[in-house]
C-alpha cells in the first residue's frame, strides 16, 4: 500500500496543556498556495480523525522578525494571538536555529521571546506581551441573571469574571457569556478565583476551542484585571489545570513566563 503523495510535516508542542501543531510553510509552499487553511486546520486538530490540538500555528518567513505566525483555532476560525502558541513556536525556533532571543510577528504585533531555561525538550520562555487595554466593569445579562466582569485586550479580546469558586456548570455559563451581544466578535472567557495578592486560579473558555487547560493571553488578562481592580499585585502566579504561568507588569508592559514542550514530529497525510 502506497502512502499519500501530499504530506504536511508538523511539530506538536504544548504549553501548560494548551497544545498546538506547528507547520513551517517553507516545507509545503506549493501545497499551501491552494489550500483552504481553515478546513485543513479543522482536519488536523480533530482529536479523533486528526492529530488533535487547540489550533495550528502556520509559520512564514518575515523580512524583519525571525518569522511570522498565523494562528487558526481548532474550529477553523482565525485568532490574533495565543501567548501559549507563541511560546511553543519560540521553543521550536530555539531548537531548530539555536537562538535564545526570538522575535515573532503575530496578528497582535511583534512579540519578543527570551529563553529563561531549558531541559531537553522543555523550554521556559518569557514573552513581552506589550500593553494591555483594561476596560471598565461590564455587566452581561444571562436571562434573569447578571454577570459582571472586566474586559481586557491583549490584541485579542478577553472578559475576566471574578468568582468565589468554579461552579459545576461553569463551561455552560461561559459559553452563554461568549454568545452575548455585548461581544460582537466573540470573546475569551476567564473565571478567576483570588487566592492571595500574588496567586489566582483560573478556568479558560476560548473562542474557537472551548475549555482549554491553559491560556497565555488569558493568564495575562486575568492577572491584569486582578491588578487593575486592586485584588492582586505584580507578579501574579496564574494557576490553571495545565500548570502555572507568571505574569508581571513593568510600567505599562506585560510579561508572561511559562513552559513550552516539544512533543513530537510527524506527517499529516492529505487524501
pLDDT (0 to 100) of residue 55: 98
User: 221 and 106 in one domain?
Assistant: no
76 is a domain residue: yes
250 is a domain residue: yes
User: 165 and 79 in one domain?
Assistant: no
User: 85 and 152 in one domain?
Assistant: no
200 is a domain residue: yes
- 87, 81 in Cβ contact below 8 A? no
User: 179 and 101 in one domain?
Assistant: no
User: 183 and 208 in one domain?
Assistant: yes
pLDDT (0 to 100) of residue 260: 98
248 is a domain residue: yes
Per-residue pLDDT tens digits for 132-162: 999 999 999 998 999 999 999 999 999 999 9
The DSSP bridge partners found for residue 258 are 125
Biggest CA-to-CA distance, the chain: 64
pLDDT (0 to 100) of residue 31: 81
User: 137 and 249 in one domain?
Assistant: yes
pLDDT (0 to 100) of residue 212: 97
Please give the residue range of the domain that contains residue 217.
133-256
28 is a domain residue: yes
As a whole number, the mean pLDDT across the chain is: 96
pLDDT (0 to 100) of residue 6: 85
pLDDT (0 to 100) of residue 210: 97
User: 177 and 147 in one domain?
Assistant: yes
User: 266 and 211 in one domain?
Assistant: no
Per-residue pLDDT tens digits for 85-112: 999 999 999 999 999 999 999 999 999 9
Mean pLDDT of 226-253: 98
DSSP H helical segments within the chain, as ranges? 29-33, 37-45, 83-97, 170-178, 216-228
User: 162 and 245 in one domain?
Assistant: yes
CA separation for the pair 112, 121 (Å, rounded): 20
pLDDT (0 to 100) of residue 256: 98
CA separation for the pair 63, 169 (Å, rounded): 47
Question: Which of 146, 206, 210 has the alpha carbon at shortest distance from 182?
Answer: 146
- 13, 19 in Cβ contact below 8 A? yes
- pLDDT interval class at 243 (50, 70, 90): very high
User: 202 and 248 in one domain?
Assistant: yes
- Is 70 exceeded by the pLDDT of residue 258? yes
- pLDDT interval class at 2 (50, 70, 90): low
- Is 80 exceeded by the pLDDT of residue 1? no
| CATH number of the domain bearing residue 211 | 3.10.310.10
Per-residue pLDDT tens digits for 160-217: 999 999 999 999 999 999 999 999 989 999 999 999 999 999 999 999 999 999 999 9
Global confidence as pTM? 0.94
Please give the tally of structural domains in the chain. 2
57 is a domain residue: yes
46 is a domain residue: yes
pLDDT (0 to 100) of residue 5: 74
Mean pLDDT of 224-249: 98
Question: Which of 86, 8, 85 has the alpha carbon at shortest distance from 43?
Answer: 8
Per-residue pLDDT tens digits for 23-36: 999 878 888 877 89
User: 113 and 28 in one domain?
Assistant: yes
User: 183 and 91 in one domain?
Assistant: no
1 is a domain residue: no
- Is 80 exceeded by the pLDDT of residue 68? yes
pLDDT (0 to 100) of residue 237: 98
pLDDT (0 to 100) of residue 92: 98
Per-residue pLDDT tens digits for 154-169: 999 999 999 999 999 9
Amino acid at each position: 500500500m502506497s502512502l499519500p503523495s501530499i504530506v504536511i510535516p508538523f511539530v506538536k508542542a504544548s504549553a501548560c496543556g494548551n497544545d498546538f501543531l506547528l507547520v513551517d510553510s517553507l516545507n509545503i509552499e506549493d501545497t499551501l498556495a491552494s489550500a483552504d487553511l481553515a478546513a485543513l486546520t479543522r482536519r488536523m486538530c480533530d482529536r479523533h480523525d486528526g492529530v488533535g490540538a487547540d489550533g495550528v500555528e502556520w509559520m512564514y518567513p518575515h523580512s524583519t522578525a525571525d518569522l511570522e505566525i498565523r494562528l487558526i483555532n481548532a474550529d477553523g476560525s482565525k485568532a490574533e494571538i495565543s501567548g501559549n502558541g507563541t511560546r511553543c513556536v519560540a521553543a521550536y525556533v530555539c531548537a531548530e536555529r539555536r537562538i535564545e532571543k526570538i522575535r515573532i510577528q503575530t496578528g497582535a504585533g511583534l512579540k519578543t521571546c527570551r529563553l529563561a531555561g531549558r531541559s531537553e525538550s522543555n523550554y521556559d520562555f518569557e514573552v513581552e506581551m506589550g500593553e494591555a487595554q483594561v476596560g471598565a466593569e461590564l455587566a452581561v445579562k444571562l436571562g434573569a441573571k447578571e454577570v459582571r466582569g472586566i474586559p481586557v485586550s491583549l490584541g485579542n479580546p478577553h472578559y475576566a469574571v471574578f468568582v468565589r469558586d468554579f461552579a459545576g456548570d461553569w463551561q455552560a455559563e461561559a459559553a452563554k457569556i461568549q454568545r452575548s451581544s455585548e461581544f460582537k466578535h466573540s470573546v475569551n472567557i476567564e473565571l478567576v478565583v483570588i487566592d492571595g495578592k500574588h496567586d489566582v486560579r483560573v478556568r479558560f473558555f476560548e473562542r474557537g476551542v472551548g475549555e482549554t487547560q491553559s491560556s497565555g493571553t488569558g493568564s495575562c488578562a486575568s492577572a491584569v484585571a486582578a491588578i487593575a481592580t486592586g485584588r492582586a499585585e505584580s507578579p501574579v502566579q496564574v494557576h490553571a489545570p495545565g500548570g502555572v504561568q507568571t505574569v508581571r507588569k513593568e510600567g505599562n508592559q506585560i510579561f508572561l513566563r511559562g513552559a513550552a514542550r516539544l512533543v513530537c514530529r510527524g506527517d499529516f497525510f492529505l487524501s
